Structure formats: C-alpha cells, structure tokens
Amino acid sequence: MQLVDVPVVMAIEHTAFSLPWPEGAYRHEITQNELAHYYVLCFCSPVACRKLGSSSWWRRIRSGFKQEAEPSPGVVLGYGGFWMMVDEAHISTLAIRQDVRGHGLGEFLLLGLLDEARRLGAQLATLEVRVSNAVARALYTKYGFRETGRRTAYYHDNNEDALIMTTPLFTVGKYWQMIEAHRAALMRRLAQQL
C-alpha cells in the first residue's frame, strides 16, 4: 500500500468495518510505523499485468514502500496489513470490496500476508476478530488460527468482545503443508473463475 492508495482503501474501509480507521491512521502506518507492512490486492487486465511482468491476471500483492508513488496498477479489490512484532506478525486489518466478496479474494490476501510475514521472519501470526464475525472466524480457523484469548468489550461501537486468534509456529512442518494444500485448492478455484 502506498499513500496514493489510501482514498480507495478508505472507501473499502467504510463499507467493511463499523469502526473504520481514520485516513490519518493509514497515512501514519505507511509513512511512520517501521513495524507496519500494508498491501493492496489489485486486479488488472492481462495486458497491464504483462507490462508489469506478471503472467497471471491476479495482480500480486504489492508491498508498501515508505514514499509517495504512482497508484497501484489496476483496480484495488482489497487490502490487508500486519505489524511485525519481533517474530510475530500481528494482522491489523484485512478487507475486501463488498461487491467482490465471496470469491476467495480474502483468502488469497490472507495467504499473501502469511507468506510475507514468513519471509520477514515471523514465526507465527495473530489477530483479533469480532466474536460475531463468523465468516472471518471460519477463514482464520481454516488457516490454522486458534482462539488463544478474548478481549472483553474491545469494539467500542457495541462493546463486542474480540477473540484473539493465533497460528501454530510456521516452522511446524505440517502447518505449512496445510497452507500449501489450501493454496493449491484456492488457485484451482480462482482459475475456474476466469
């Protein structure tokens, strides 16, 4: 994610969350927070992707460098990010545009976040999720996240609790084998949607 992506991210943010982050928070995360790693998921035409050196119509997740740049190529479909806290990736946000939900894009983005966290040296990932968000909880459970705690009245709009969910250690062999099996199944699913 880059500063020029923030207006589009904010449009998605306001439809995805009842307590959206303010625009200034994203600007701060991108320019000031050295622990922050934010990404956008873009769709671009096959021609545009070839120009960018990609053989896939699914644009790779773009990392956020700490400077202003050209807008991300293609249409932003979603975004996500994490804070790298020593050897833990704390996923702080993940959202997909409302009109394209239910097609595996959130799963694709989560995979990208886990891959990038692992590449940066994370040993595990953690996040908070609303108790009532059954769809997100099911996705996280599918990817090995388990409930490890609860934050009482974490969400200020309705005092809803947040579940703390954490993955096993990435170095546990069977864990990453499971990730790769899910990745293969998702890639088959996405290919069928072409």
pLDDT digits (tens, 9 = 90+) for 74-115: 688 899 999 999 999 999 999 999 988 898 999 999 999 999
Banded model confidence at residue 19, pLDDT cuts 50, 70, 90: confident
For residue 64, pLDDT beyond 60: no
Percent of the chain with pLDDT over 90: 65
Q: Distances from the Cα of 49 to the Cαs of 15, 30, 54, in angstroms?
A: 28, 25, 5
**Mean pLDDT, to the nearest integer, of 137-157?**
96
Beta strands in the chain (DSSP E): 36-43, 62-63, 75-85, 88-96, 124-130, 146-155, 160-166
Say what the pTM is: 0.84
Mean per-residue pLDDT, 55-59: 36
pLDDT of res. 190: 86
CB distance 32 to 109 below 8 Å: no
**What kind of fold does domain 3-192 have according to CATH?**
Aminopeptidase (3.40.630)
How does DSSP classify residue 120? T
Mean pLDDT, the chain, integer: 85
Taking 50 as the threshold, does the pLDDT of residue 51 lie above it?
Answer: no
Q: What is the radius of gyration, based on Cα positions, of the chain?
A: 16
89 membership: H or E segment, kind and range: strand 88-96
